[in-house]
Every structure is written in structure tokens, then in C-alpha cells.
Structure 1
Amino acid sequence: MAPRIHWTQGTAVSKVTNFVKTAPVVHCGFTGARRTPLLGKILLAFIPFGAYLITFTFYHDLQKLLGLDEKHVSTAFLPWLEHSLFHCYPHKILSSHTSPVLDFIAAIPYLFHFILPLVFSLYLIYVGRRHEVPLYLWVAGWVNFIAVLVQLVSPTASPWFVDSVQYDANGNIISVADNEAGFKRVDAMLGYPLFHNLYGKSKVTFGAFPSLHVAWPAVVMLFRPWFGYRFGVFHVCWIVWASMYTCHHYLVDGLAGITLAYIIYTSTMKLYHPFQCERERDVVAQAEYIPVTAKIPFTDTCEITMPEKS
């Protein structure tokens, strides 16, 4: 029987995989635990993140290169889709009832959004699930890259833009609200333009669909988040509400972000990812240390089965 050849053999993916396997290793676990090339895996996992960062950084240059004119951004498709599905505009209902307390509650997940990948990666390492870090970064990277490609090819306006923009007879913009939208109220209470500075520097002004603000917590939820699955669901619902309350996104934007995260996660687990799952020998079960000699079964999805205590 002829030997089986993986479809990546001889390709650029295979060469990169072989390169990172020889990268420096880092100590994994308690004293005496086996060494794992975690650093090499993380470098490999950052390939889609790197593609996202390049696309995001050179967003306007790529638009000019591809002949995409941001002046012809879609301002009608998302409102039409929103009304067709829900027969109303949920963001208008939510944003019509504002208060300083709700403004600060909405600001919390948005501020936490910027450090979410780093914090969740550190959390995985802290709780003994460091073998999932490369896989998490791989999935999150592809979610980001595909989302920014959609936003590059088909830019869509957020509710704050659609509801406030005014044009002259030639189609030129006369006036429009600031990028921070509902968070302008938070800046006024703080006496400092925190959100204005954050959104004023964004390179992607018309990137409403799909919502990465919602997609990131959705990826975390799929990877068994901190405080349990229920908190993961709550976090996703929290930022979906915040995105509509502050007029940053339509409901369909959030649903698209969740759907994108689920598709990437499922395809990664079921079809292909470049990481070979290993035994995790630095496991603490029920506040009791398990010796590194204990056999810990593992599966292709990196799910760890805890051995029974003797």
C-alpha cells in the first residue's frame, strides 16, 4: 500500500510548520514536566493574525490598489436587512432610553475588548490549558482576517452614520456624527475624549458587518470561558446589547459576528488545524496536584480527561 501523503506536503504551509517546530521551546508545567514547543506553536498561530494586522494597517492602501472607493459605501443594505428580519430597528429602540448608568455599563465590554485576546490567552495558561492557546489564537486570527476582508471588499456603514449623515445635491457629505457615537456621552461625563481618541484613529470607519466586537467574545465562549459557559453567553449578549445601545452596530452585525466565529471554530476542529494536541502534564485537579507520571488521555480536539484520584 502506498504511503499516505498529507495535502500540505511540499507547500508553503508545510514549510512554515516544519520551521516553527524547530523554534525555541519553553518550559511547560511543574518541575520535571516534559518540554513543549509552545513558542513555536504560538508563532505559527499568529500567521492569520499577522495577515489581519497587515490588511488592517494598509486598509486604505489596499482599497486604492483594488480600486475600491469608500465614498460608495453601502448605507442601505444593512437597514433593509435589519427591517426585513425583525420588522423594526432594535438599535433605535435601545438607544432611545439612555442613562449615565447604562452608558458606563455599555462602555465596560468595549474597553475590555482591546485586551481580550491577551487576557484570555493568559487565563488559559494560568488554569493549565496552555495547549489551547495556539488553537485559540489560530481561530481568533482567522475570524479577524476574514472579517476585515469582508469589510474591505464590501464596506458598510454603522447606524450612527446612517442616522446622522447629510448630503448635498452632489452627494458630498455635509455633516455626520462623530465615530464614537453613543460613547460621546461617556466622554462628556469623564471630561476626557477617551472614546473619541480611540475611534478617531481607527482605519476602518465603515466596518459594521460583521461585528468583531461581538465575534471576539463569541470565540472565547466557544473555548469554554472563565466563570463557565453561562458567563460566556452573558458576555456575548452584553456586548451585542452595548453595540446597539450606542448605535455602533445593527443586530444583524452581531449575529454575523457570532456566525463567523462558529463557522471558523467548527471548521478548525472538524477539518484541519496545524497543531498536534499533546498530553498536558501540569494539571491540577480538584485542588490536588497530579504527578507528572500520571497518564492523561487526550483527543484531537485537545479535550483533557482528568484521571481519577487513587
Structure 2
Amino acid sequence: MAASSPFWTRDGVSRPSHRPVFNRRTSASSNGLRGALRHVFSTLHIAVSRLQTSFDPHITLSRLRAHSWSYKDLIYLLHLALWIFWVSIMREPRFPLNLGIPLLYLTAISSFFPAMPILTWVLTFFSSRFIPVEYRPPISVSLLPTLESILYGANISDILTRFTHPVLDVPAWLSYGVVHFVGPFVLAAFLWLFAAKGALKFYCNAFGYMMLLGVICQILFPCAAPWYELRNGLTPADYSMSGSPGGLARIDAIFHSNGYTVAFSNAPVANATIAALFISHFWPRLRHYAWGYSAILYWATMYLTHHYLIDVVGGACLATAMFYLMMPTQSCPPPFIPFPSSPRSAVPFLQKGGGRNHRHTASIASLIRSDERIEDGWGPAGHRGLIAPQPQSLTTGNGLGREGSEPGETLSSGNSGSNALSISPSLEGRGHTARARSPSWPDRRGAV
């Protein structure tokens, strides 16, 4: 018969149990999962109940009046200019239906104002297709591979695409084709539910402006993806050519579908970097998993022929810059404070004596010895190190300090050329003693 193991009941009594250990562990894990889900749903319910769902324009106007304007608010002029430009060139939906987009936003601005950078990015990404071809810059085919070969010594992204296998295709697809699109919204939800107040606004600003700059860079400096070089070589590209899913076409072949072949375009790799930065900042225990996923995604973008290595490095730098530029002041790390290389010497703080008489000048070695400076508070305290000196006033027999001592009980200089102090005979006669601050101090009881 197997040995029984005790388990704790609700009344706190330990009783023998004959249940298998596997069942208890499974039950504990399932209870923990149910408890975590229950906590998430309860937090979500509380957060939703606090949302501002009123579309009353007076709420928006009152918030605008209460807002303290600064030079940082000039960025909203850029948003206004972009919205006017993209709506004016938009052909789907046509005028006047396209005016409903800004009107809808102005109606719900009290609830979606922090998401303005993200909404501006979405509008820019959607409307960039309507830019006339004659105003678009030419597409560069050789710039990125040339820069990659110069900076890194080889075309790293091309090397990673030479060996393909379904075992590698599936994790690359999961990280780049699935999690990559859902992850930003899941992270935003967790920041809204569990992070400190203002974390979601911080994320919206950093993520939105990062994506907006990425789209603007693609519009102003268009470059062909690695799959174009593999398919067409260095043939000049034009905007009439259709896109390609690159290595994700193998996923369509595995699942016998055409979702990525028809609808997929290059996704920015900076998403993984900024997600890892936010997870490391708000949940440091998960930083290893976040950066591990980012490393897999970096490899997947090159393995699936969607990005060059220089794209990955540039996207990571852009994400890091936006993360620290948009970080609130109270969340910034403290400035670097250099530590002193050695203890400060006490010699500059001693009184300078005149003339050439330096017989009683204290040496540096005697000043820093603990057994010679117990009266100053620098003596040893057991085995726990040193005690910093505390400001104390030297009192006389009547309890008075330096200014309140009686005649004949004053502190006097032992030598005009000395840096040390001596006690008058009247103080020593009442039982007060004083130690010399240097071994070179002469024992002169009658010194005045």
C-alpha cells in the first residue's frame, strides 16, 4: 500500500490523504487559472464602469478650459494638418461621407482623446494609398541591401532565407503573423487594467507616434522588401506592382488557404521592441520572456523575407527613442550621480596656521584612524562599520556651550601656528579632559 500523505482541510486539521499527487497539482493549477481569470474579469468590469460614455460636448469644453496649455500642445497642430490633408485626398469614402470621420472623432473626443496619435497613424496608413503616383518618390531596390552589406559585412537577411523548413515556418508565422498583430492591443488592455494611472496614455503616445513616423518614412523613402529582390532581382520597381506575402505564402500552402497571399503587407518590426520595453518597465519579472519573443520576431521578419537586418535595427532604435521621449517625468530614471573614488580628506577643513611653524599639523594618516577619532563619532560600532559624526556642542561643567562658558573656561589655541585646540587649566581642574587630535600634540598641562 502506498504511503499516505497529509493534506490540510478547511478546519485546519491535517488528515491523511490517499489522493494521487498528480490530481492535487492539477486541481491547484486549475484553481489558480480560474482565480486569475476571475480577477481579470472583475478588474475589467470595474474599469468599464468608470469609463466616460457621455457624448455631451459640455464635458469636452470643460476639460479644454481646465487644461493647462504649454508649448508641448503644439503637436496637436500637426495632427490637425494631417487630418485635413488626408481627408481632402481621400477617395473612399467619397465626399461628403469622408467628413463623417472627423465629426465622429470630435463627438467621442472626451473618451478617445489619449488615442489621438494612434488614430492619426491609422488615418495616415489608410489614406497614403490615395497619394497620386506622380507625387510619390521612386522606390529604391538596392539601397537597403547595399547598406546592410556595408555595415554588417554580408547580407544577413539573405543568409537566413536560404534554408527553409515547415518546422521553422510555424513559429515564424505564429510570432510574426498572429501575435504581432494582437499583441499591441492585449498589452494596451493590461496597461489599462493593471498598470498605474497614466500608463495607457504613455503607451498610446509612444506607440502612436512611433507608428506614425514609420509610415511617414515609408512614404518619403520607399524601399523594396527582400522578397522583391529574390523574385525580380534589381529590376526597378513601381507602384503598379502587387505586393507579396513573402515566406508567409508557405503558411498558406500548409493550411491550404490564401489569406496572407491576398491581404498581407509588411508589418513594422518596432512593435515588438516597444512592447518589450513597456513590459520590462511595468512588469520587470516578465522582461526575459518579452525580449525572447522580440528576438524570435526579429529572426522571423528576415526569415520570411519581409525585412532586412537594417530595418530591424532601425525599428528598434525608433521604438527605444519614442519610449524614452514620451516617458513621463516622474517615471524617468534618476540622473547618474558619480560616487567619490576615495574618502575626502579632512585637511582642507582644518584651520590654516600662519608662519612656518607646522610642528603640530595633523597628518592625514592620524586623521582617518578610527581609534584616534572616537570623540568625533568616527569610532567603530561593533562589527557593523563606522558611525557618521553627529553635530555636538562642547559643554563645560555648568552645562553651557562655547558662547555660554564662564570666565576662565574658554577654549584657547594651544599654539598660534597649530591646527589643534587645547583646553584651559580651569576645565581640566573640574574633571574635563581632552584628547589631542594628533600624536604630535605635546602634553602641556600649563599651556594657555
Q: Tell whether the structures are fold-level matches, with TM greater than 0.5.
A: yes
TM-score bracket for this pair, using the shorter chain length:
0.5 to 0.7
- Matched to 1:217, the amino acid is A
Aligned-pair identity (%)? 24
Equivalent of residue 311 in structure 2, options 253, 271, 279: 253
Which ranges in structure 2 are unaligned for 5 or more consecutive residues? 1-67, 80-107, 334-448
Amino acid at match of 1:155: P
How far did 1:42 drift? Answer: 6.4
- 2:279 is paired with a residue of what secondary structure? coil
The answer for the alignment partner of 2:71 in structure 1 is 7
Amino acid of the structure 1 residue aligned with 2:226: P
Q: Who wins on radius of gyration, i.e. which is larger?
A: 2
Structure 2 distance, partners of 1:147, 1:102, is 28
Question: Which structure 2 residues correspond to residues 84-123 of structure 1 after superposition, within 5 A?
Answer: 84-110=150-176, 111-123=178-190
**So what's the TM-score if we normalise by structure 2?**
0.47
Instruction: Kindly indicate whether residue 156 of structure 2 is the aligned counterpart of residue 156 of structure 1.
Output: no
1:1-310 equivalence runs, <5 A: 6-8=70-72, 13=76, 43-64=112-133, 67-69=135-137, 72-110=138-176, 111-129=178-196, 131-165=198-232, 179-199=244-264, 202=265, 212=268, 214-225=269-280, 228-269=286-327, 300-301=330-331
Q: Using the TM superposition, give the Cα deviation of residue 229 of structure 1 relative to its aligned residue in structure 2, in angstroms.
A: 1.1
* 1:141–1:63 distance in 2 versus 1, CA, 3 Å: farther
8 A contact 1:180–1:196 mirrored in 2: yes
Task: Write the distance in 2 (CA, Å) between the matches of 1:41 and 1:218.
Answer: 30
RMSD: 3.2
* Higher normalized contact order (CA 8 Å, seq sep 6+, divided by chain length): 1
Query: How many correspondences in the alignment?
Result: 232
Q: CA deviation at 1:194?
A: 2.4
Q: Which ranges in structure 1 are unaligned for 5 or more consecutive residues?
A: 17-38, 274-298, 304-310
- How far does residue 191 in structure 1 lie from its aligned partner after superposition? 0.6
Give the 3-state SS of the residue equivalent to 1:49 in structure 2.
helix
Deviation at 1:130, TM superposition (A): 5.4
SS at structure 1 position matched to 2:198:
helix
Q: CA deviation at 1:7?
A: 2.3
Shift of 1:228: 1.1
2:93 corresponds to:
none
After TM superposition, what 4+ stretches of structure 1 lie above 6 angstroms from structure 2?
39-42
Which residue type is aligned with residue 324 of structure 2? T
Give the C-alpha shift of residue 5 in structure 1: 7.7
Separation in structure 2 between the aligned mates of residue 184 and residue 149 of structure 1, nearest angstrom: 27
CA separation in 1, counterparts of 2:72 and 2:226? 43
Whether the 8 Å CA contact 2:247–2:303 is kept in 1: the answer is yes
Aligned-pair CA distance for 1:172: 7.6
Q: Residue by residue, what CA displacement relative to the aligned partner does 1:33-73 show, whole Å, maximum 9, x if unpaired?
A: xxxxxx97862322111221111111122354x8115xx20
Opposite residue 195 of structure 1, the aligned amino acid is Y
State the alpha-carbon separation in 1 of the partners of residues 70 and 237 from structure 2: 54
Please tell me the residue identity of whatever aligns with 1:190.
F
